[in-house]
Amino acid sequence: MRAPVAVVILAAGKGTRMRSAQPKVLQPLAGRSLLSHVLDTALALGPEQVHVVYGHGGQEVAAAHADYPVHWVEQPEQLGTGHAVACALPQIPDDHRVLVLYGDVPLVTPATLEPLVDGHGLELLAARVPDPTGYGRVIRDAAGGVVAIVEEKDADPGQRGVDEINTGLMAAPAADLRRWMAALSADNAQGEYYLTDAVAAAVADGVPVLARFTADPGEASGINDLVQLAEVEQAYQRREARRLLRGGLRLVAPERFTLRGQVRFGTDCAIDPDCTLEGEVALGDNVHIAQGTVLRDCVVEDGARLGPYTVVEQARIGPGCRIGPFAHLRPGTVLEEGARVGNFVETKAARLGPGAKANHLTYVGDAEVGARANLGAGTITCNYDGARKHRTRIGDDAFIGSGSQLVAPVQVGDRATIGAGTTLTSDAPADALTVARSRARTIPGWQHPGLTGRRGPPDDSDATPASDGAKEE
């Protein structure tokens, strides 16, 4: 039977090498903080307790993760990893098994950690790497048993040649760990209390020590600067792209796909290069997303097609809709079945009924557009009076001529036609043509001042200076 588990996440480092005012564990990976990835992994293990040891920027770190069920433990002075664990131990019962994770090691998976949690004695996660520089070395005796971990700064030349490294992740009984942490010494090259000294203490106490190898050393990659953050981001995106491909989502160029959240999808969906999915995204069956599209917290239903460089945020796209290219669907947009939103069209808090069309150069904000209505190029719903938003309602089968301005609040009846260039300030009745524009006038003999005394278009290169007191237009 597995002992109750307490997870301790070390997140107190300042992260000076990040060159950032933000605490290191708040740096973003795939749109979320490093620490949030580690917390999700920890909670997936079903622990009784999760403790986060914080230091630099602790209030900011805690506020950013207020929704997580964790205990926040302050490490007032950063005196090493052993000291950090010791700060959390008073809140952990002796019968618990303690798993130690790091807030800047975000790629490790629950499957990799399960054996450590289920084990006995002291178990640590190890890896073999071509270049062990910077890592603590796992030292074994002649029989192959683990006897110590030696940090690089304290290692002799022979120990530095060892390619088996400690990832820093380990699990041990709380009662034993409490005893070992109390006996730590800071007599080392860094003058710190090392958590890794628990290995030698366990050996001295006759407690079994086991080093388990991770199948993917990249899972244990730590982040200390922006170069490593970029490398881990690439590794994360590769891993997620492979997972999605295996699940049936066709990524045309998986190396040029970015996921910053979660995506659910049906069958036969395809995503072209350079697309970004953020937050919670749901795709139906037979959805095609063209190059450069950004989807954020939205639903795209069966058979929809999104053209290149479309941006959709907090919107719902119905079955068979056609969007873009270069369209922007802002929060609150709902497109019903077969609706079309074309190039350089922006919508916000708008509902387009089945088969409605706004194909080019149009703004539809705070509006209800009926079924099969057609909005001509350059149509604008003037929804904001400087203080309040107002709604526009357009009936079924209405036709809005190009260049029209609908000054809300205003209603256009079913099957109404609005003449091109109309500025509509009152309701337009159903089954009628409404036109509201100035009558054109022609003034014979008019000559532009810039053309006086010359033929052809004006030439700025030989313009004469303005006379005294005159102002050039």
Residue among 45, 164, 196, 168 nearest 104 (CA): 168
Instruction: Measure the CA–CA gap between 312 and 323, rounded to whole angstroms.
Output: 10
Q: Is 103 helix (H, G, I), strand (E, B) or coil?
A: coil
Asked if 220 contacts 214 with a C-beta cutoff of 8 angstroms, the reply is: yes
Q: Which residues are part of the catalytic machinery?
A: 360
Instruction: Measure the CA–CA gap between 261 and 279, rounded to whole angstroms.
Output: 4
User: Which two tokens mark 155?
Assistant: 């290692």
Residue among 119, 162, 111 nearest 139 (CA): 162
Instruction: Measure the CA–CA gap between 319 and 323, rounded to whole angstroms.
Output: 12
User: Which two tokens mark 400?
Assistant: 């809005």
Residues in the chain: 473
Instruction: Measure the CA–CA gap between 337 and 354, rounded to whole angstroms.
Output: 5
Which H or E run includes 88?
Answer: helix 81-88
Q: Is 293 helix (H, G, I), strand (E, B) or coil?
A: coil
Asked if 194 contacts 184 with a C-beta cutoff of 8 angstroms, the reply is: yes
Terminal Cα-to-Cα distance of the chain (whole angstroms): 88
Residue among 96, 68, 75 nearest 10 (CA): 75
Q: Is 37 helix (H, G, I), strand (E, B) or coil?
A: helix
Q: Is 160 helix (H, G, I), strand (E, B) or coil?
A: helix
- Cβ partners under 8 Å of residue 26, min gap 6: 33, 34, 35, 57, 60, 61, 64
User: Which two tokens mark 450?
Assistant: 């810039």
User: Which two tokens mark 419?
Assistant: 């003449």
Asked if 311 contacts 294 with a C-beta cutoff of 8 angstroms, the reply is: yes
Residue among 130, 214, 207, 209 nearest 167 (CA): 214
